[in-house]
Copies of this chain bind each other. A is one copy, B any other.
Amino acid sequence: MKNYTLEEAKGILLKDFNIDLHEHIAIFQSVINHVTVSIFDNRDHIVRASDTITRLHILLYGTAKISLTHEDGGSSIIYFLKPNEMIGELTLLGIEQNPKDVIAIGKCICLSIPMDIAEITLLHDPQFLLAVSRYIGTKLLDRTWFSVKQQHYSLKPRLAAHILLCACDGLYNEKHTQTAEYLAVSYRHLLHTFRELREEGLITKEKKGYSFNRESLEQLASQLD
């Protein structure tokens, strides 16, 4: 993990990642001179469950996972974070009881400000508060939909939806281990279901991932709506 000032970061971000910072810092406008930029590598902890959370982040680039380790040693992926999502907002609000691990999947870039600065400014800023309400509310709805579907339908249609969701240029290419944790099934069972989809001709294994028959997958996934 490397840290940069906003000034240092501007050049790097624009050159190497084609990110224009101006689009992203609106929400931090009132605390702009406290903003720094951090670049994380694959598997770096952005937040460690066991540590005190000292900064409020916004993910600019990359994907991160929030995950939780159970008493029995197993773990669950709770959420995949995508660009423009916040990290630490529930701690800022003073309601997070059981912090979770946030881990970079591939390279990740975050804006961040110190938590104590956020507390004395953002918590009184109606614009920020409305934005954060909407953000958390949307997550609540997403999570509700996801978990209701998860508990009501078997893996096959959920996997179909997941493949469609993750596919990039018509190719699904996620790690089965991650998918199994996210869909909360055993690795073995996930593989079994992948085979079913293959045998039914809905997906085909290629060198770089799985290609698929979009219409058939969509039809399978449509029962979730």
Query: Which A residues are closer than 8 A to B by beta carbons?
Result: 68, 70-72, 74, 76, 78, 89-90, 93-98, 123-126, 129-130, 132-134, 136-141, 143-148, 150-152, 184, 223-225
Contacts and interface: CB of A to CB of B under 8 A. Distances in A.
A78 B144 contact: yes
Dominant SS at the A interface?
A: helix
B74 A138 contact: no
Question: How many of these chains are in the complex?
Answer: 2
| Centre residue among A78, A89, A141 by max chain B CB count within 10 A | A141
B151 A184 contact: yes
B147 A90 contact: no
Contact of A184 (B94, B144, B152, B225): B152
Contacts of A140: 90, 136, 139-140, 143
A141 B72 contact: no
Contact of A76 (B76, B126, B129, B151): B151
Contacts of A95: 134, 137-138, 141
